[in-house]
Every structure is written in C-alpha cells, then in structure tokens.
Amino acid sequence: MAETLLEVRHLNAFYRNRGRRQQILHDVSFTIHEGEVLGLVGESGCGKTTCGRTLLGVYPKTAGSILYEGQETSGLNKQQRKLFKRRNQMIFQDPYSCLDPRMTIGSIIQEGMNVHFTLSPEQRNQKVVELLYKVGLTPDFASHELSGGQRQRIGIARALATDPDFIVCDEPIAALDVSIQAQVVNLMIDLQQEMGLTYLFISHDLSMVRHISDRVGVMYLGALAELSDASLIYEKPLHPYTKALFSAIPDASRRGGSKERVRLQGEIPSPIDPPPGCKFSSRCPYAQELCRQQTPELRELEPRHFVACHLAEKLS
C-alpha cells in the first residue's frame, strides 16, 4: 500500500447565504494515497467541487482537519504554504474561462513557474516547450486558434508547470466535445503514470470516472455516501443512492441493453434545509423512522468498502 498523501478528517464547510447558514460539506473523511486516482461523483450541488477546493485551501473549512503528509494544512507557515501551493495544483472545468485571452500561451504556462522557481528566460522557455510536447501540442500552437481540447491541454500544462504531486481535476472534461473527452482523459492517465501524480478526479461522467480511478467516493448533499475501490463500487454498489446513480450507466456487457434503471423520486433537497438523519431519506425508497432520526456513519461494511446507510446489510 502506498503512503498516505492526504488525509481528510471530519471536514465541514458552510457559507452564509442571505444570513442563513448553508452547510456544503458534512463530516467528510477519506484518505488519498500517493500515486492514486480517487474519483468523486455525485449530482450537481453535492459538494464535490467545494470538497476539492477546500483541500487546496481555496475555500475555507469550518471544522475538521486536512493533513498533507501528516501535517495539518491550516497550521502551515508562509514558506510551507508556498511550497504546498507549488506541490498541489488544479485543472479547471472550463478551459475557456480559465485562460486569459490577453496572455500568450507561453506566459499562461509560465505563470506558476515564475512564482515558484528561479529560472532564466531560456530555462523557462525550454520548460514551456517540454510541457507543450508532454500534453501533445507543439510550440507553434502559440499562434493558432485553439480548440476546446487544445485549451484543456494548455490548462493541464499550466498545472504541471510547478512540478506538482497532487492535482484536483475539477470536471476537466465537462466542457469538451464528447469526441475528445476520452483523448484528454487518456492523456491525464498517461501523465499520472509517467510522473507518479496523485489525482482527485471530480466528474459527473460515471463511465470516465470508472476508467481513470483506483477508488471512487460518492457524495450526496455534502456527505460521503459510499467509498470503495472502483471495481467493487461499480460491480456491487451498497448504498441505495449509489445503486440509483450507477443504474443510469449503459452496461455494454449485458446483451440487449442496459440494466434496470432506478429512478429517484423528488428533487435533491436544499443544502439550507437538509432532511434530518440520513440526508438521502427524503428520496430513499427504503427509508425508515431510524433513517430520519439518526445520521448513518460511513463504516466499513466489507473489506475496503465503506457505506453510510443504516440498512446496508439488509439491502446488499
């Protein structure tokens, strides 16, 4: 087992929205190991982006701890924080909005380098050229109009420019044409393996998450519902929400079409006013009184397979 790179314990985050407390993360705990890809899935608004950004300190946490190589990130001094920022980067959802159209491609990629490294102009240019080749582009792209896939490759090169260990990939393929999503994901897999990177891969594309991830966490209304190895969770989901979510994935292995789709009733509740007890209780077909009274803990029901459901044994 690889070393633990990041450990999240009982992470909570809330915002004030028009004077009302809106809790975005509820008691989220998980670890990420060196060289691992942890996928994070769930419906829009479930807190997966907030979770990724809170890990990097972009958003503040309200309670809980984030340990990076065993050290609490909120206790880092100025120098340690600068190093933390260099080693931990982000690839954004929308490659169009995250690239400044007034900047050249070279200067976009160099931004992080200039902050974190002391390099001569020749060394910086050399590194830009190396990074462009690494992401499948050539230096002459600087003068071209870029497609969405090429822009995302620039976004990836920019993230790699500070020689990071860990990258939060926040819906990196959501804004791309379906035809090039797989190319970008395969590039990210190649880079991860070649450079020994660790990813938190946030996406609503369940098939791509399965393709790239070693383990997968499922979030619902700011809390982790289930967490396990990708093969285990996709083959045998234990939480009623995961079962419903994954039932929408076309199953090519079954002759004649997909498995039976589980359709959830009702809308995802507002994070301002979540249901008491289990957050899924207002939509769960198996909800009982206990579910509405007590919040289920995330517990290891089977080896390496964690689930937050009071009735998981009965329902598995």
Binding site for ligand SF4 (CB under 6 A): 239-240, 278, 280-281, 284, 286-287, 291, 296, 309-311
The position carrying tokens 């001094």 is 77
- Closer of 160 and 298 to ligand SF4 (Cβ): 298
Q: Which two tokens stand for residue 70?
A: 């065993």
Q: Which is nearer to ligand SF4, 154 or 312 (CB)?
A: 312
Instruction: Starting at the earlier edge strand, list the strands of the sheet with 299-302.
Output: 88-91, 166-170, 198-202, 37-41, 215-220, 223-229, 305-307, 299-302
3-state secondary structure of 157: helix
Place of tokens 């397979």: 305
- Which is closer to ligand SF4, CB of 177 or CB of 313? 313
Enclosing H/E stretch for 301: strand 299-302
Shortest CB 46 distance to ligand SF4, Å: 14
Phi and psi dihedrals of 257, rounded to 5?
Answer: 135, -155
Q: Smallest distance, Å, CB 213 to ligand SF4?
A: 23
Instruction: Output 109 or 287, the one with its CB closest to ligand SF4.
Output: 287
Smallest distance from ligand SF4 to CB 313, Å? 11
Could you tell me the CA-to-CA distances from 103 to 99, 109, 111, 192, 238 in Å, in that order?
Answer: 8, 10, 10, 27, 48
Q: How far is the CB of 25 from ligand SF4 (least distance, A)?
A: 18
Question: Please, what is the minimum distance in Å from the beta carbon of residue 204 to ligand SF4?
Answer: 20
- Closest separation in Å from C-beta 267 to ligand SF4: 16
Output 51 or 291, the one with its CB closest to ligand SF4: 291
Name which of 30 and 280 has its Cβ closer to ligand SF4: 280
Q: Sign (positive/negative) of CA torsion 198, 202, 203, 204?
A: positive
CA quadruple 209, 278, 9, 192: dihedral, nearest 10 = 0
Nearest to 42 by CA among 239, 313, 278: 239
Looking at beta carbons only, is 255 or 314 nearer to ligand SF4?
314
Cα–Cα dist 159/148, whole Å: 17
Judged on CB neighbours under 10 Å (0-12, 13-18, 19+), 53 is middle
Give the whole-angstrom CA distance, residue 229 versus residue 227.
7
Cα separation, 225 vs 211, in Å, equals 21
Least distance between ligand SF4 and beta carbon 70 (Å) = 33
Q: Is the Cβ of residue 33 or residue 243 nearer to ligand SF4 in the bound state?
A: 243
Q: How far is the CB of 287 from ligand SF4 (least distance, A)?
A: 4
Residues written for the chain: 316
